[in-house]
A and B are shown apart, each in its own frame.
Chain A
Amino acid sequence: MTWWQPTLLMMVFFILILLPFFPGLIELRSPKDDLPLRIDMEYIRDPRYFALAFRQRVQENLTREAQGGPGARPRLQPMVTLGPGTNTSGTIMALDHIEVGRGSKLGDAYSYGDLRIAEQSEIESAAADGSLLIESDSVIRGWIDSEGDATVGNGVNLGVSASSASTLTIGERCEFQRLWGLPVRTSEEPVSRYVPDFPRDREEIIGKDSGVEIEDAARWSSRDMTIPAGSTVGRDLVAYGDVRIGANSIVLGTVKSRGVVTLDEGVIIEGSVIGQRGVNCIGNATIFGNVFSSRDVELGPGTVVGRPQAFKTVFSQTRVLLARGVEVFGWIVSEEGGTVG
């Protein structure tokens, strides 16, 4: 072996050792990615974000065009009527009313008054400062929003978000991701059971013969458990297995399960319902708090979540299935898409 061979080997060795540091040296000498991770310090979640941002943008553009002051109403036609089968990609606006004919394809529509989209139409987004009507079998690619009542017919795909500052009524076979309304309703008639009268005695379980064995206060059960029909549970209930609350029972707290929570007919929950593996309300349940699950949430007929004075959330990381006759005051989020049965 000659002298240069080990020298060469040493040089190669050190080059290979130092090689991974060269790109970093470039970044340190001439930084191009050294800003902190961006945090929006003023961000506040708003379920009507799309619509409010759109309105603000439209207002800014119109006032700029009209050269009026902030808040000036633009010079628009009072009423726009589009015949059946209209196909346009622009933004349609009117001061008082927009009427879109059957089978039309539109971009955005914004009415300072009411807006009606006839059946089998397809639209990017629709906003109305008055009432909004989307007739059956239409498709919303983006979002819809209204200040007044919004009514959606059967079989409508509601896109990313459907919201109303007032009542949002949606028909059968509708598909959705996010719904906001005060309330969101799946029947035309309201469920007249907002504040039922029930005893508020804070006891563990009314009825000593209930047969329910409670392991301890932190965890009622490490396995599945059933609360018998007609019980009153006086506090939060936490179980590691599935939980079934028997018919006409009352829970004066929150129900939390790492499994599935099933609420039988007529159950009243004063707090929230959290079922990591799913929540299933058979029917006519009244939940004053939120419903939260990493899996499916099924709300049976007559289920009410929230109340007129307090909005709440129904959240599923997978699907929300709403029966007819459900009423939710607030927000419904179904990350993998929800349906009305």
Chain B
Amino acid sequence: MNPFLVWILQLYIYFVAVIMMVYMIRHVIFTFNRLNKNQRRFYHEILDSELPPVTILVPMHNEEVVAEGVLRALIESDYPKDLMEIIPIDDHSTDRTEEILRQYGERYPYIRPLYRRTGMRGKPAGLNDAIERASHEIVLVFDADYQPPADMVKQLAMAFVDPEVGAVMGRVVPENTRGSLLTRIIDLERSGGYQVDQQARFSLNLIPQYGGTVGGFRKSVLLSIGGFNPRILAEDTDLTYALYTRGWQVAYANRAECYEESPEDWGVRFRQVRRWARGHTQAAFRHFLPTLGSKYLNFWQKLDGVLLLGVYAVPTLLLTAILCHIVLLLSGAVAPFTLLLAAAFIIVNAYGNFAPFFEVGSATLLDGGHRRLWLLPYMAFAFVFNVWAVVGGLKDALLDVAREGTPQWEKTERFRQ
């Protein structure tokens, strides 16, 4: 084998191993901070009799199964109804969604449904149309399968007392944990992702992420950046970075907990993760350099921002490193690297999932879980599964760049009975 090629492959393997180590250290820091340090408080600690008026958007496409649930939950909110406007967005639905929204719209004057029958389909396009109709500066978003508790709107709206906050994000909690092994693994992943990962990033003044639902933003800020880009499937990641690189911040509300419905089918989950990976990678292409060059971000925020943007590239890097290793093995030039790659692989599998095992375990303990911790090893299966979905998403994102087309939005299937 060409010695230069061997050297390049060896170098690549070293590079991937270093990347793995950096991600692992990042997660160790997050977990240590969450477990041992005083956590930064969110603005829900504030009680204020002068609440800001809010517009709540609920994007829906064929959501007859869940539409009433989210609307009822919002109606039962303790937020003053004269300060609240709800815009459910019926996005080209072909089921009973429109009928349900009409009933609620007629009954409650503050529910003003938007029926989209023309134009591009998809959440970013739907949100853009609804934002034009939004009467208020503070806009909150809930997906149709979410059930916000009574004080949720108040908690999220209070974040905007801080003039630096451009967006706010609450915590997502899976409700259908009893559905299957998949839902239980998703429950663990969500726990790690929010209880430790998001909270630590908020506490450490890094880059907590706006997640597109159970959250909100300032209408004027969104309009100033041209609204959501309908060509980017991860409109939440896109907004997060657009905000940070312009001097705004995202506040994370760990106690603003809201139930969601997790996919109960591996195929549905595969498509969901693939869509996330595709959208996230699109956002990474768009924001990588602006993040590094932003005058509003300090060194650690830039580092965290870049690592967060690259998180969906890690499985692909790992997969290609393994392939490089096989090539080296077959060429007989493998000896110095076997241990290194094996170590990297073990690190990723044992500790370095999207939300690593120790991070998930710590989060589950903080949440008061006990026997569900026994399922942690099963996350290894989810990791292998996610790797394939993410590699597919990366491929999709690269094709999006090549074709310069607009990706088709794919809705996540609902399972509620």
Contacts from A to B (Cβ < 8 Å): 20-21, 23-24, 26-28, 31-37, 39-45, 47, 216, 218-219, 222, 236-238, 253-254, 256, 258, 271-272, 274, 289-290, 292, 294, 310-313, 315, 317, 330-331, 333, 335
A312 touching B48, Cβ below 8 Å: yes
Contacts of A331 in B (CB 8 A): 47
CA distance A129 to B48 in the complex (A): 25
Q: List 7 A-B contacts (CB under 8 A).
A: A24-B377, A36-B177, A37-B187, A272-B162, A290-B48, A294-B40, A294-B41
In the complex, the answer to whether B149 meets A39 with C-beta atoms within 8 Å is yes
- Cα of A21 to Cα of B174 in the assembled complex, Å: 23
Whether B371 and A27, one on each chain, are in contact in the complex, defined by CB atoms closer than 8 angstroms, is yes
Given known contacts A42-B150, A44-B78, A274 and B47 CB-to-CB distance under 8 angstroms: no
Instruction: Tell me the bound Cα distance from A36 to B171 in angstroms.
Output: 13
Which one of B149, B163, B173, B247 lies within 8 Å of A43 (CB-CB)?
Answer: B149
Given A24-B375, A33-B370, A41-B149, A47 and B47 contact (CB-CB distance below 8 Å): yes
What residues of chain B lie closer than 8 Å to A44, measured between beta carbons? Answer: 78, 150-151
Instruction: Kindly list chain A residues whose C-beta atoms are within 8 Å of the C-beta of B151.
Output: 43-45
Q: Name the residue on A nearest B39 (C-beta).
A: A317
Q: What interface size band does chain B fall in?
A: 35 or more
A-B contact count (CB 8 A): 130
Shortest A300–chain B CB gap in Å is 21
Answer whether residue B271 sits at the interface, using C-beta atoms and an 8 A cutoff. no
A256: chain B residues at CB < 8 Å are 162-164
Complex contact A219–B296 (CB within 8 A): yes
Q: Are A310 and B50 in contact (CB under 8 A)?
A: yes
Closest to B147 in A: A41
How many angstroms between the C-alpha atoms of A40 and B259 in the bound complex? 11
Q: Which residues of B lie under 8 Å from residue A335 when comparing CB positions?
A: 41
Q: Are A27 and B375 in contact (CB-based, < 8 A)?
A: yes
Which of B49, B178, B296 contacts A310, CB < 8 Å? B49
Closest beta carbon of chain B to A184's beta carbon, Å: 13
Nearest residue, chain A, Cβ from B174: A36
Contacts of A272 in B (CB 8 A): 161-162
Give Cα distance in the complex from A45 to B152, angstroms: 11
Q: Complex Cα distance A308/B162, Å?
A: 23
> What 18 new A-B contacts, CB under 8 Å, besides A34-B184, A256-B163?
A21-B378, A26-B374, A27-B372, A33-B372, A45-B44, A45-B47, A47-B47, A237-B163, A290-B161, A292-B45, A294-B40, A310-B48, A310-B50, A313-B45, A313-B47, A315-B46, A317-B40, A335-B41
Considering only CB atoms, which chain A residue lies closest to B165 in the complex?
A256
Cβ proximity bits B232-268 to A, threshold 8 Å, 1 near / 0 not:
0000000000000011100000000111000000000
How far is it, in angstroms, between the C-alpha of A216 and the C-alpha of B191 when the chains are bound? 38
Q: Which residues of A contact B40 (CB under 8 A)?
A: 294, 317
Nearest 3 interchain pairs by C-beta: A218-B247, A236-B163, A33-B371
| Residues of chain B within 8 A of A317, CB atoms compared | 38, 40-41
- Smallest CB separation, B263 vs chain A (Å): 15
Interface string of B94-138 (1 = CB under 8 A from A): 000000000000000000000000000000000000000000000
Contact with A along B344-376 (1 / 0, CB 8 A): 000000000000000000000001111110111
Instruction: Give CA–CA (A47, B49) in the complex, Å.
Output: 13
